[in-house]
Each structure stands twice: as C-alpha cells, then as structure tokens.
Amino acid sequence: MRYGMAIDTKKCVGCSDCVVACQLENHVPVGYARDWIVEVTEGTFPNLSLEIRSERCNHCDNTPCVRTCPTGASHIIEGGIVKVTHNECIGCGACIQSCPYDARYTHPEGYVDKCTFCDHRVKNGQDPACVSVCPTHCMYFGDLDDPNSEISKIVNRRKIKTLAPEAGTLPQIFYLV
Amino acid sequence: MKTNRRDFIKIASAGTGGLLLATPAFNLFKDNEEPIDDTKVKRYPTYCEICFWQCAGWTYVKENGDIWKVVGNKDDQHSIGRFCPRGTGGVGTYYDPDRLKNPMIRVKGGGENGADSFKDVSWDEALDYVAKKMKEIAEKHGPDSVALLTHGSGGSYFKPLLNAFGSPNIAKPSYAQCRGPREVGFQTTFGSNIGSPEPTDIKNTRCLVLIGSHLGENMHNAQVQEMAEAIENGATFITVDPRFSTVASKSKYWLPIKPATDIALLLSWMHVLINNEWYNKEYVAKHTIGFEELKAHVAPFTPQWAYGITDIKPEIIIETAREMSEAKPSVIIHPGRHVTWYGDDSQRSRAIAMLNGLLGSWGAKGGFFIPEGTGIPQMPPAAPHPHSEHDINNGLYPLAGDILANKIVDASIAKNENDWRIRGWIVNGTNPFVTMPDQENTKKAIEALDLLVVIDTMPAEIVSYADVVLPECTYLERYDTLRSSSFRFPSIALRMPAAEPMYKTKSAAWMAKELAKRLGLKQYFPWKNEVALLDWQLKQMGSSLEEMKKIGVKNFERTTDMYPVMDETYEFGTPSGKIELYSASLAESGFDPMPKYTAHPEPPQGFYRLNYGRAPMHTFGRTVNSPNLNDLMPENVLWVNPKVLKEWALKNGDEIWLENQAGVVSEFSIKIRATERIRYDNVYMVHGFGTNQKGLSKSYGRGINDQQLISTVMVDPLMGGTGFRGNFVTFLTSKPEKEAKA
C-alpha cells in the first residue's frame, strides 16, 4: 500500500476549491493553508504557456522532515502518509526548514501542521477533501502499489513530473503535464 | 449648497481594531479538535445562493450544532456532487461577524455632528414603518411608484408582494447589466432564449469557441466540469480574448483580439465558412431563411479585412473556421454570460447565434441541447399583474424582455418637481453600487427617494443609504422557494435550514408575508409558513417535504428529446418558424437585419481600456468579505503588460490610483500585476472589490471597484443593455487629492 496523488495540470483551472475544502474539512484557521495553488507563466505576449498546480505535502518516500524531528512527532503511517502528532510537537520548526516544498506551517496554537491526505477520510474509503471537491476532476488519489488503481494507470499512461526531484525526497505527488 | 437628505451612514465594523494587521488567528470554529467522521454529523439539503448557478448540496452540521461544511449533492446536475470554491466557502456567509444583525431605521441627525445614524428597532417597528411609507407613496403617487430591485431567491417572495401592491416595476440587474443581449441575439435567430444554466453540450463537443468568456475563472459549476471533460476528450478550444485567460492557456488557439472588434471576427468567420462552403449545407437548407442575403452581406468581410481591424492573422481566421467546420455540428460558439460590452451586444450575440446556425449546432449533440424543466405549482390566488401607465423603459428598446434596472434608477430622478417618478425602492440581494454603472447617477436617484428599504445579509454600500434595513438570514438558515431547473433534465431541489437564524435575522419569505399583512394583501400569501407552502407544492408534484429532506434533489424523466430529430417541418420560435439569418422583424423595427461591424472609441494616448471579469473564488460583491474567500484573494490587482509599465517606469506590486476618461478618480488604490498575459491596449481587474463600506471589515478599501470607473455607458438600442467596456483609465502614481464634494 502506497498512497499518492496525481494532479492533471491540463485540467486544473486554479480555482482554489481544494484549498477552501481542506480548510473547512480540517479546521485550518483562516490565514493558513495545507494546500495552495501555483501558477507559472512562461514566454512573452502572445507566445505564452501557463501551468497551474495544486500543491501540498508530497508525502515523500525519503522524508527529511521526519529525520529532523527531534521528538518523533513527525512520523509515517500506513500507506506512507506523513503526519505530525500535535501534542508531541514542540514547534521547533526543524521540519519546516528541511522541507523543500514549504508544505508545513506553524499553527497559531504552537504545533506544526500540514496535509494528512485526509487520512480520517481515506480510512473510511473516501477521497481526501481536496480531491472530492475538485470541479475539474483534475486530482487522482489512490494506491500506487496497485497496478490496477486509477492513479497507477494514469501515472503510467501520461507524461509526469514531480517537484524538486533534485532534492532526492522521492515525492509521491505526480503532476500530469 | 444643499445638504444631503440622505447621509451615508457609516457602519461600525464588527472586528476589533488591528485585527487585520495582526496575523489573523481568527478561527471560524470554536474548537480545533481532530476532524470528525461524516457519519457522526447531520446533513441537511440546500442549494447555494452565492451565485446564480444554484448548485444543490448538503450542509453538514456537527454534534454541537455548528455548521461544518457544504458539499455537492451527487444527484444534482448543477453541481454534479461538487461545489465550486465560492460554494465551498459559502459557510463563511453564516459565520461572518460583519453580518447585518438587527432591523434598523435611519434617525435624521441622530449621529455625530448632526449626521444621520441607524437605530436598532424591533421587527414590528421596522415593518410597520415600511408598510406605512409604502401606503403613503401609493396614495399620493400610485403603487407603481414603488420599485423592486432584486437578485436571487428573495425575489420569489418580494415580486408577488410588489405585484399585489400594484407595481409592475420589478427589475433584476442581471438582465440589462449582464446577460440580456445574448437572449435577444439568440431569440431573434433561433426563437429561443439561452436561459440559465446555458444548454451548451460542452462535455460532448468537439470544438468549443469562447468569445471573451473566461470559463474556469467564472466558476459556472457544471459548465466548468464539462469543460474539463472536454479537455480530457481532446476537444479543440478556440479562445478569443485580449487576455491570456486560464481557458486560453488550455486552448489550441488563443486569438488575442484587439478589444471591441469581435463582430468583425465573427463576420469574417461567416465569410470564410460560406465562401469555402464549409458550413452545414443540409442544415442551412432545411432550417434557415435569409442565407442568400447573409452570403451577400458577408462577402466583403474577408480575413484580410478582419485582420486590419482585429489584429488576428488571416490564416488563423481561416484555420479556426476550418476547425469549427470539421467539428460541425458538434461545435459550440459559446453565447457567454456577461455580454453588455459595447452597446452593439445584441447584434454581436446574434452574430454568435448565426454562426452556430451556419454550423448546425442548435439541437445537435455536442452543440446546444434543448433544455427541459418543470414548473412549480403556486398556491392560489396568484398576485395580479398590475398595469402601470408609466413605461419605465420610455417606449425605447422594443426587444427588452424585462424592465431595465438602470431605467428604474433614471425614473427615480425628477426632471420637473411635479413629474411622476419612482419614490420608493425595495432592494434585495443586490448592491447597485457594484452592479450598476454611473454611481453619481445612482446617488442622485437615491437622494430623491421617499423610501429606501434594503434587505440583505451583509452591509453592502447600499445599506448605508437605506431608511430601513431588514437583516435577512443566510441561505444556510432558511427554507426557501424550490429550485426548479431547466437543463439536461427537469429537476427540483430543496433548501432547508441547517441552523437557527443567527441574531435577529429573518427569511425573505417571512418578511414578505408580514409586509403583506400590514398592506392588507395577506390573501396573496395564503400559506401558514414556508414549511406548509413547500409541503403543499411538493405534494402537488407527487413528492413531499419529508421525501425531499432525505434526497435534496429530485430528477424527472424528460418528455421531449434532448437532441430532437429535426426534419423540414421542425418549427423554431421565430416569426418565420426557421432560423433567421436575415431578420425581417429586426428590419421592421428599424434595426440592422444582419449584424454590422462598427468601430468603437479607442483609448486616448496614455489611457487603456478598462476590462474586468471574475476570479474563481469571488462572485459579485458578495464574497469579498467572506472569511475563507477573502483569505484566498483579499483585493484585486491590475493586470498590465510589462511594455506599458516600462513607459510609466512602474513595476510589479506598485500601488497606483486610476482616473477614467471623464476625470473620475478611483477612491482606493490598486497594486499592479505585471504580466505578459494581456495586450498592451487594455488593463484588467477582477470585479467586486474596493468597497467603501467600513462595515465590511475585511474588504473595506481593498482594491478598486471597477464600477466606479464605468461612467460612460454604451446603450444597446435593441434592448437597452448597458455596455460597460467603453471606459478608459490612466495611471496616477501618487495619491490623488480628494475631490471636494458637496
């Protein structure tokens, strides 16, 4: 079992529904976010291209955040989901420094918080909130170890890229480009 | 100097000072426990009120009674189980601490330094006051002197109230300030309106052509979902827009047209289709009249001719026409939604309709399907349709399908003291300072009113001009009229409260019924309450409130074909029964029977055409203060091409003010977004920002209200639509001296 996500940049319109849905689902305070939108424009008028990405924790295979955590609050659970146990976190921020994706933030209550792939939903057989709400159906979530899962099929079929591969973190979010 | 009869009353912000400066740790929710399972919470059906798409969904409520989230109903064809960001963030309208909380009445000279103020009053006091004033106006000047400006669900209750009262003067800014021209363009061509939601079969199309429509930045939910499906299916997108919009970036062809020249492109496309015999010959022969006239009409409009006007290269015009032809009839030249641009908008919409007619897409799979809906039984007696001897539209605009909201404004301004005029406004769910052009004119009209009643959930600008403010509860706290949609199949949706109304807020239904009682019109509101009315209506339809509470949405089988079999006898709703490429009725009314290109004014040296549009997380002016949505985009920015910025020695992020061609200066500043994604001859901002209402604590003074700079209006002679895009702005790099105003 290895959970991952594929996000189709060709379909994403950057509407930020994933951001709002996550904030409400997970009680993320207004002013903070576990996921966010990045738009990259290339070229000059009128020869332009635009890539839109919904970004979040990459739930990497090689996790500097977990390695640098002095208390063990940052840990990996079933399916490779990287989580933070709030009451074990001392808010030192070492994980924030070590993450090449800037995917973590310090919650106003003092602990570090981040995307959980909505494991509370996933264990009930639901998609993460961001995936379930996306109006363009541009996000795919599932088991990368299962060759018959929708995500495995689309990752195999389409041209993909990951973010900051040079960091060696082996991210498990794949962008369809 | 005359002192204002009606001071702008400043509304105190609910937030404490400094809230915006400190990092907002403000949590929507009282607790911050781990997320809870969907199984432990209750859910109630609703449909969204944030925009006109009216997506049906479920409001989830936690065990402690707090509203948690709103998600789409999988059985609903508007949402297809998914809400857009505005709908997802709709929870914020319930939690927004800036909400209107109490009924209020204006007190002359009750505030500081003799200014007016509001005092909180009981509902009885507020409603008695409104009824008394309405009666006084009716006795002296006739009941048609009271008008209703409305948007959204509340209209279902206030319209019959006004009609029963004796006034036909009911207007929605969504007609003359938004989609009216396309209804006229398609009506005069196909004999059918477009309506809402648009019956565009995008998910099955092979070619989608967008004329300035920024699908994906406007989140017309099912349509955006279908657009994504069309991308997946490999459909060809052709986007015509001076801005590299989101959907332009997903298009095979982006045509960065010179603004205000769309009709030239549309005529040239028709020329190419006809000249190369690429049009749908069989369909045109069977279903259209006026083809020969059209052929002669478009003969001069070669791609070379259009290139000189539009900046679109001839080979691109030809190639895109061929793409459309190859996809026919599975092709959509999209009618758009907000189409009041240059005053010849009905004719541009007609050119779009005619192009669809040439390709045979009306009634075709992947083109326009024929929508089907269902009526909602109304409990008798129906309110009468009153007649007024005063024609608000002044006998102008013979094709206007509605009373024009801007003409209600004009009819409220006296030419001579004793002339009949509109003297009372009931404003529900719309803010004329954001929806209507020429704010000075609106202020003049308001100044002359004897009564201004504002019914809203939030203190929009118009609230500060009100005599009486009636606080409405949000859509998450009330029952409402059933949503009946005419779309892929007939369906109805229920909205029911997920929580008790906060503060002293009430539903529009309750308010209208209470006013009716006081006006002696209670027979037109024969139901005990909304629950009784809904149950009666649903039982007439073979359902019940009990059933609808469980399912939220009920879909019905179609009784007609979505893609009808169209032989020669197929009748369109036009006078001739055919698709009218030449419109004899337009010619009889003195209008062009076929669209012509007219050159529109160009920006003067140092000025840029002001274009505006939507961002996916905002709608109208009603979302900018909503906590999560404000957090995503707290202010608008001005899109400017870097070449232009170089001339001004300005850069990305610089703060500027804008002045339009008539010398109107923006009240607030805006930050520059330097971007290659826009032509050099226009600038762009998202609509709905720049409120000067301090009561909207998160959005006050953030960005610019485009409508403030729209002082020139290009009026559509066919239906009176107010074209907004003939305004030009220049940059002020330092804060302008405040104009001394009387």
**Chain A residues with CB inside 8 Å of B35's CB?**
25-27, 118, 120-121
Residue A136: which of B25, B224, B254 has the nearest Cβ? B224
CB hemisphere CA count around A171 (13 angstroms): 22
Q: Does A13 touch chain B (CB under 8 A)?
A: yes
Q: How far apart are CA B181 and CA A63, in angstroms?
A: 57
SS3 B69: strand
Is B573 domain-assigned?
A: no
Q: What is the mean pLDDT of residues B23-28?
A: 35
Q: How far apart are CA B324 and CA B330, in angstroms?
A: 9
Percent of chain B clearing pLDDT 70 (strictly above): 95
Question: Is the model's pLDDT at A148 over the cut of 90?
Answer: yes
The residue segments making up the domain with residue B251 are: 182-369
Contact B38 A126 (CB under 8 A): yes
Cα–Cα nearest to B336, from B344, B319, B348: B348
Q: What tokens does A49 get?
A: 């291209």
A-B interface: how many C-beta pairs under 8 angstroms?
Answer: 147
Q: In chain A, which residue's Cα lies nearest the Cα of B252?
A: A49
Is B165 domain-assigned?
A: yes
Residue A30: which of B28, B82, B228 has the nearest Cβ? B28
Between strands B104-107 and B468-471, the pairing is antiparallel
Percent of chain B clearing pLDDT 90 (strictly above): 90
Contact B88 A21 (CB under 8 A): yes
Contact A14 B246 (CB under 8 A): yes
**The predicted structure's pLDDT at residue B37:** 62
Q: What is the mean pLDDT of residues B555-567?
A: 96
Residues 6+ apart with CB under 8 A from B426: B146, B147, B148, B149, B150, B158, B162, B453, B455
Question: Is the model's pLDDT at B4 over the cut of 80?
Answer: no
Contact A16 B616 (CB under 8 A): yes
Is B490 domain-assigned?
A: no
Looking at the fold, whether B138 and B258 belong to one and the same domain comes out as no
pLDDT classification of B94: cutoffs 50, 70, 90: very high
Contact B84 A15 (CB under 8 A): yes
Which residue in A7, A10, A16, A38 has the most chain B C-beta atoms within 10 A of its own C-beta, making it the best mutation to test that interface? A16
Looking at the fold, whether B141 and B261 belong to one and the same domain comes out as no
Q: How far apart are CA A41 and CA B586, in angstroms?
A: 45
Q: What tokens does B474 get?
A: 């949000």
Cα–Cα nearest to B620, from B430, B398, B361, B441: B430
**Helix/strand/coil percent split, chain A, to 5:** 25, 25, 50
Contact B39 A25 (CB under 8 A): no
Looking at the fold, whether B723 and B704 belong to one and the same domain comes out as yes
Question: Is the model's pLDDT at B31 over the cut of 60?
Answer: no
Q: Which residues pair with B657 in a beta bridge?
A: B732
ipTM higher than the 0.85 cut:
yes
**Chain A residues with CB inside 8 Å of B217's CB?**
13
**Chain A residues with CB inside 8 Å of B225's CB?**
135-137
- The Cα of B504 is separated from the nearest Cα of chain A by a number of Å equal to 26
Query: pLDDT by residue (tens digit) across A32-88?
Result: 999 999 999 999 999 999 999 999 999 999 999 999 999 999 999 999 999 999 999
Q: What is the largest CA-CA distance in chain B?
A: 76
Question: Is the model's pLDDT at B34 over the cut of 70?
Answer: no
Q: How far apart are CA A51 and CA A40, in angstroms?
A: 5
Q: What tokens does B13 get?
A: 């912000």
**The predicted structure's pLDDT at residue B739:** 57
Ranges of beta strands (E only) in B114-206 are: 117-120, 146-150, 170-171
Query: pLDDT by residue (tens digit) across B432-450?
Result: 998 888 899 999 999 999 9
**Chain B residues with CB inside 8 Å of A118's CB?**
35
**The predicted structure's pLDDT at residue B395:** 85
Q: How far apart are CA B87 and CA B80, in angstroms?
A: 13
**The predicted structure's pLDDT at residue B737:** 83
Residue A16: which of B28, B231, B632 has the nearest Cβ? B632
Looking at the fold, whether B218 and B364 belong to one and the same domain comes out as yes
Is B482 domain-assigned?
A: no
Looking at the fold, whether B614 and B694 belong to one and the same domain comes out as yes
Q: Does A110 touch chain B (CB under 8 A)?
A: no
Query: pLDDT by residue (tens digit) across A97-133?
Result: 999 999 999 999 999 999 999 999 999 999 999 999 9
Contact A45 B33 (CB under 8 A): no
Q: What is the mean pLDDT of residues B177-202?
A: 97
**Chain A residues with CB inside 8 Å of B219's CB?**
15, 135
For chain B, the average pLDDT equals 94
Q: What is the mean pLDDT of residues B354-360?
A: 98
Last residue of a domain, one of B369, B391, B421: B369
Contact A136 B225 (CB under 8 A): yes
- The Cα of A60 is separated from the nearest Cα of chain B by a number of Å equal to 23
Report the sign of the C-alpha dihedral through residues B24, B27, B30, B34, in that order. Answer: negative
Is B166 domain-assigned?
A: yes
Which residue in A18, A23, A30 has the most chain B C-beta atoms within 10 A of its own C-beta, making it the best mutation to test that interface? A30
Question: Hey, what amino acid is at A140?
Answer: Y
Fold for the domain defined by A3-176: Alpha-Beta Plaits (3.30.70)
Contact A16 B35 (CB under 8 A): no
Q: Does A46 touch chain B (CB under 8 A)?
A: yes
Torsions phi, psi of B128, nearest 5?
A: -60, -40
Looking at the fold, whether B256 and B365 belong to one and the same domain comes out as yes
Domain total of chain B = 3
The DSSP call for residue A29 is P
Contact A137 B24 (CB under 8 A): no
**For position B677, which CATH number holds?**
2.40.40.20
Classify burial at B156, counting beta carbons within 10 Å of its beta carbon; exposed 0-12, middle 13-18, buried 19 or more. middle
Residue A130's CB is within 10 A of a number of other CB atoms, namely 25
Contact B677 A45 (CB under 8 A): yes
Residue A108: which of B25, B84, B250 has the nearest Cβ? B25
**For position B315, which CATH number holds?**
3.40.228.10
Residue A13: which of B23, B216, B631 has the nearest Cβ? B216
Contact A30 B27 (CB under 8 A): yes
Which residue in A136, A137, A157 has the most chain B C-beta atoms within 10 A of its own C-beta, making it the best mutation to test that interface? A136
Query: pLDDT by residue (tens digit) across B650-695?
Result: 999 999 999 999 999 999 999 999 999 999 999 999 999 999 999 9
**Chain B residues with CB inside 8 Å of A132's CB?**
71, 82
Question: Is the model's pLDDT at B17 over the cut of 90?
Answer: no
Contact B247 A13 (CB under 8 A): yes
Q: Does A133 touch chain B (CB under 8 A)?
A: yes
Which residue in A10, A20, A36 has the most chain B C-beta atoms within 10 A of its own C-beta, making it the best mutation to test that interface? A20
**The predicted structure's pLDDT at residue B24:** 32
Contact B229 A50 (CB under 8 A): no
Which residue in B223, B632, B644, B678 has the most chain A C-beta atoms within 10 A of its own C-beta, making it the best mutation to test that interface? B632
Ranges of beta strands (E only) in B62-124 are: 67-72, 104-107, 117-120
- The Cα of B632 is separated from the nearest Cα of chain A by a number of Å equal to 8
Is B12 domain-assigned?
A: yes
**For position B465, which CATH number holds?**
3.40.50.740
Q: Which residues pair with B484 in a beta bridge?
A: B492
Is B132 domain-assigned?
A: yes
Residues 6+ apart with CB under 8 A from B699: B624, B625, B630, B634, B635, B689, B691
**The predicted structure's pLDDT at residue B243:** 98
pLDDT classification of B622: cutoffs 50, 70, 90: confident
The structural domains of chain A, with segments of one domain joined by +, span 3-176
- The Cα of A77 is separated from the nearest Cα of chain B by a number of Å equal to 17
**The predicted structure's pLDDT at residue B5:** 64
Looking at the fold, whether B113 and B201 belong to one and the same domain comes out as no
Which residue in B55, B83, B249, B312 has the most chain A C-beta atoms within 10 A of its own C-beta, making it the best mutation to test that interface? B249
Q: What is the mean pLDDT of residues B262-267?
A: 98
Looking at the fold, whether B302 and B153 belong to one and the same domain comes out as no
pLDDT classification of B35: cutoffs 50, 70, 90: low
Q: Does A30 touch chain B (CB under 8 A)?
A: yes
Is B49 domain-assigned?
A: no
Looking at the fold, whether B286 and B229 belong to one and the same domain comes out as yes
**Chain A residues with CB inside 8 Å of B232's CB?**
11
Query: pLDDT by residue (tens digit) across B488-512?
Result: 999 999 999 999 999 999 999 999 9
Question: Is the model's pLDDT at B25 over the cut of 80?
Answer: no
**Chain A residues with CB inside 8 Å of B83's CB?**
17, 133, 135
Contact A20 B628 (CB under 8 A): yes
Looking at the fold, whether B364 and B276 belong to one and the same domain comes out as yes
Looking at the fold, whether B420 and B363 belong to one and the same domain comes out as no
pLDDT classification of B40: cutoffs 50, 70, 90: confident
